[in-house]
């Protein structure tokens, strides 16, 4: 067996891709290892959402390039979003790289790997449809409880700050039959949670020219599968959340009451500059609609601080939105200019770094405040928790898991194990997690 090491940066889509890459390569004699030093093949699966993530890819390649000097037979590959965009730059900065492959080319690995084993240098960056032969390969899933299923890749939205349409291409949905087959395998293997993935998961099916293929109907089909398991879906684009999707979440008992709906800014002018297809008021309406429908639902978001031309007042609208909507948690970031994007060219409107950092700091403070407020709402309540992890602290067995609404819950118990669903009465709320005790 040859040894394979994969370093994965970026979002869940990249993590899911890495599980598939590892699975495909296991058909060709590669076994994944956690120890880089013993690897025959090193792969870095990269992210370019912000400059910092892209920089990490190059510094890792630099370290690996030095290692190859002492071990010339070592193979180095780069894939993911930086690879898709930067093949010429990679060739120039890291000529020792053996294989560059794009976000669309994972299922071409069987042929690509043979070429690099014959000492060819290979670059495969082409636009191909979503591979429909995915179920023919092993998937080396990292988690034993939750399994990811990518259902739609790419993005048609072209938000002016974002590089994803350039790295992942246009939206491509997988056909429902393939997804359902993968879900059936997952359940058979004993997984207890399925997370459907897409850069815009709620656009699912739009490219398949069949009005019946929607995320709502896919949830309904998956919900009918036998077995005790949960279904989640991320990430939702606000204005693509249809009434039928909300209805499907309500109808389907296996689908979690949890929505991740990035707002990005609380100000309508900035949203327009970002090319987001909704106003502040429209986003508020979507959140109210969901909150009115489901008790105890959690709604999380993403926000960017310091988008080009953002004024102090406009930034304050973002803080206000987090507070008024009582958003349960938000991912936050300072705006990072990206190559190819429209906002990246608005150099004269860039916000100075110190102002961006100060705004990010305030965003994070508001986020902590809202997360604590959200968690406190669950004090005294009973949540159904899926156990994901077991640790031992001060001779006590502590189980960690997530509730249906994605809240992280810790409780002490020797009775339950990983993969169990347990009703837990919450008795303590902190900013990032809840504590409780099991109730029968
Ligand atoms: N498709 C999702 C987001 C995917 S990218 C959506 O439309 O909401 C994940 C997050 O990265 C985004 O929500 C955004 O908040 C952040 N992001 C993207 N580009 C960025 C940039 N140039 N600078 C800072 N943050 C960025
Ligand atoms: Fe990026 Fe916008 Fe597409 Fe999300 S919807 S991936 S933020 S371009
Ligand atoms: Fe990063 Fe690509 Fe995901 S840019 S966030 S790895 S889609």
User: Which DSSP category does 350 fall into?
Assistant: P
Cβ–Cβ < 8 Å for 323, 432: no
Give 35 Cα–ligand 3 centroid separation in angstroms: 25
Closest CA to 421 of 382, 384, 388: 384
How confident is the prediction for the chain on average, in pLDDT?
A: 96
The arithmetic mean of pLDDT across residues 211-217, rounded, is: 98
**What does pTM read for this prediction?**
0.97
Rg over CA atoms, the chain: 22
Question: Is the beta carbon of 236 within 6 A of some atom in ligand 3?
Answer: no
Cβ(137) – ligand 1 distance below 6 Å: no
Q: Is 162 in the pocket of ligand 1 (CB under 6 A)?
A: yes
Q: What are the chain's domains? A: 2-124 (3.40.50.12160), 143-256 (3.30.750.210), 260-377 (3.30.750.200), 382-438 (2.40.50)
Q: Is the CB of 79 under 6 A from ligand 3?
A: no
DSSP assignment of 184-248 equals HHHHHTT--EEEEEETTGGGTTGGGT-TT-SHHHHHHHHHTSSSS-EEEEE---GGG--HHHHHH
Atom number, ligand 3, closest to the C-alpha of residue 82:
4
Q: How confident is the model at residue 70 (pLDDT cuts 50, 70, 90)?
A: very high
Count of alpha carbons within 13 angstroms of residue 310, beta-carbon side? 32
340 lines ligand 2 (CB under 6 A): no
Q: Whose CA is nearest to atom 3 of ligand 3?
A: 11
Ligand 1 contacts CB of residue 336 (under 6 A) = yes
338 Cα nearest atom in ligand 1: 22
Q: Can you tell me the distance from the alpha carbon of 178 to that of 182, in angstroms, rounded to the nearest whole number?
A: 6
CA of 369 to the centre of ligand 1 (A): 22
278-211-209 Cα angle (round to 5): 95
Per-residue pLDDT band at 130 (split at 50, 70, 90): confident
What are the structure tokens assigned to 373, written together?
Answer: 């407020």
Q: What is the DSSP string of 135-201?
A: GGS----S-SSEEEEEEEE--S---TT--HHHHH-S-EEPPHHHHHHHHHHHHHTT--EEEEEETTG
Q: Does any ligand 2 atom lie closer than 6 A to the CB of residue 432? A: no
* Mean pLDDT to the nearest integer, 316-330: 98
Q: Output the CA 161–ligand 2 centroid distance in Å.
A: 8
**What atom in ligand 2 is closest to the CA of residue 275?**
2
What's the token pair of residue 149? Answer: 């299923």
Round to whole Å and give the CA distance between 117 and 25.
13
CA atoms within 13 A on the CB side of 197: 15
Contact between 184 and 361 (Cβ < 8 Å): no
Task: Decide: helix, strand or coil at residue 409.
Answer: strand
Ligand 3 within 6 A of CB of 336 = no
Q: What gap in Å lies between CA 302 and CA 262, rounded to an integer?
A: 4
Q: Would you place residue 126 in the very low, low, confident or very high pLDDT band (cuts 50, 70, 90)?
A: confident
Residue whose CA is closest, atom 1 of ligand 3? 47
Name 303's bridge partners. 264, 332
Q: What is d(CA 415, CA 418) in angstroms, rounded to the nearest whole number?
A: 11
Q: What is the predicted pLDDT for the residue at 341? A: 98
The Å distance, Cα 71 to ligand 2 centre, comes to 41
26 CB-side CA count, 13 A = 16
List % helix, strand, coil for the chain (3-state, nearest 5). Answer: 40, 25, 35
- Cα separation, 256 vs 219, whole angstroms: 11
Residue 200 C-alpha to ligand 2 middle, in angstroms?
7
Cα torsion 307, 311, 312, 318 to 10°: value is -50
Under the banding of pLDDT at 50, 70 and 90, the label for residue 310 is very high
Residue 252 contacts residue 261 (beta carbons within 8 Å): no
Q: What is the mean pLDDT of residues 104-124?
A: 95
**Cα 322 to averaged position of ligand 2 atoms, centre (Å):** 20
Q: Is the CB of 298 under 6 A from ligand 1?
A: no
DSSP 3-state of 267: coil
What number does the ligand 3 atom closest to the CA of 103 have? Answer: 2
The predicted structure's pLDDT at residue 147: 98
Q: Does 49 contact ligand 3 (Cβ within 6 A)?
A: yes
pLDDT at 364: 98
The helix (H) or strand (E) run that includes residue 43 is strand 41-46
Q: Is the minimum distance from the CB of 200 to ligand 2 under 6 angstroms?
A: yes
Confirm or reject: Cβ of 422 under 6 Å from ligand 2. no
pLDDT in tens, 387-415: 999 999 999 999 999 999 999 999 999 99
Tell whether ligand 2 has an atom less than 6 A from the beta carbon of residue 165.
yes
- Which residues are registered as beta bridge partners of 387? 401
CA 162 to centroid of ligand 3, rounded, Å: 10
pLDDT band at 35; cut points 50, 70, 90: very high
**Average confidence (pLDDT) over 213-242:** 98
Q: What is the separation, in whole angstroms, between the first and last Cα of the chain?
A: 48
Which residue has 């405040």 as its token pair? 369
Give pLDDT tens digits for 132-175: 777 889 999 999 999 999 999 999 999 999 999 999 999 999 99
Percent of the chain with pLDDT over 90: 97
Q: Please work out whether the CB of residue 50 comes within 6 Å of at least one atom of ligand 1.
A: yes
Please state, in angstroms and rounded to a whole number, the distance separating the CA atoms of residues 244 and 133. 30
Q: Is 158 in the pocket of ligand 2 (CB under 6 A)?
A: yes
């Amino acid at each position: 067996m040859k040894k394979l090491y994969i370093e994965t940066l970026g979002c869940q889509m990249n993590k899911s891709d890495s599980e598939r890459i590892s699975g495909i390569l296991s058909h060709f004699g590669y076994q994944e290892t956690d120890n880089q030093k013993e690897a025959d093949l090193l792969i870095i699966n990269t992210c370019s959402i912000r400059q910092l993530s892209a920089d990490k890819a190059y510094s890792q390649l630099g370290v690996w390039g030095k290692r190859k000097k002492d071990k010339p037979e070592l193979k180095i590959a780069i894939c993911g979003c930086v690879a898709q965009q930067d093949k010429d730059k990679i060739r120039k900065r890291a000529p020792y790289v053996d294989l560059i492959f794009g976000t669309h080319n994972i299922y071409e690995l069987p042929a690509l790997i043979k070429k690099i084993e014959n000492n060819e240098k290979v670059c495969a960056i082409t636009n191909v449809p979503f591979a429909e032969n995915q179920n023919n390969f092993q998937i080396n899933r990292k988690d034993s409880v939750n399994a990811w299923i990518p259902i739609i890749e790419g993005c048609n939205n072209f938000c002016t700050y974002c590089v994803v349409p350039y790295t992942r291409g246009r939206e491509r949905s997988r056909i429902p039959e393939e997804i359902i087959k993968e879900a059936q395998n997952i359940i058979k293997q004993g997984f207890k949670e399925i997370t459907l993935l897409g850069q815009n998961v709620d656009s699912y099916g739009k490219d398949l020219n069949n009005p019946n293929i929607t995320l709502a109907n896919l949830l309904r089909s998956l919900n009918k599968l036998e077995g005790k398991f949960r279904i989640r879906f991320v990430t939702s684009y606000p204005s693509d959340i249809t009434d039928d999707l909300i209805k499907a979440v309500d109808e389907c008992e296996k689908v979690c009451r949890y929505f991740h709906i990035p707002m990005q800014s609380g100000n309508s002018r900035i949203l327009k500059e970002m090319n987001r297809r909704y106003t502040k008021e429209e986003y508020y309406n979507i959140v109210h609609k969901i909150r009115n429908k489901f008790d105890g639902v959690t709604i999380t978001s993403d926000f960017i601080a310091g988008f080009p031309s953002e004024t102090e007042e406009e930034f304050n609208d973002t803080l206000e939105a987090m507070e008024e909507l009582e958003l349960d948690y938000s991912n936050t970031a300072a705006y990072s200019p990206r190559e190819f994007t429209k906002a990246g060219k608005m150099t004269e409107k860039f916000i100075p770094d110190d102002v961006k950092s100060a705004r990010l700091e305030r965003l994070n403070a508001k986020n902590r405040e809202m997360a604590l407020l959200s968690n406190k709402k669950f004090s005294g309540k009973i949540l159904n928790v899926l156990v994901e992890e077991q640790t031992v602290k001060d001779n006590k067995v502590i189980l960690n898991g997530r509730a249906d609404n994605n809240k992280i819950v810790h409780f002490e118990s020797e009775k339950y194990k990983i993969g169990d669903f347990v009703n837990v009465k919450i008795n303590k709320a902190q900013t990032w997690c809840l504590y409780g005790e099991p109730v029968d």
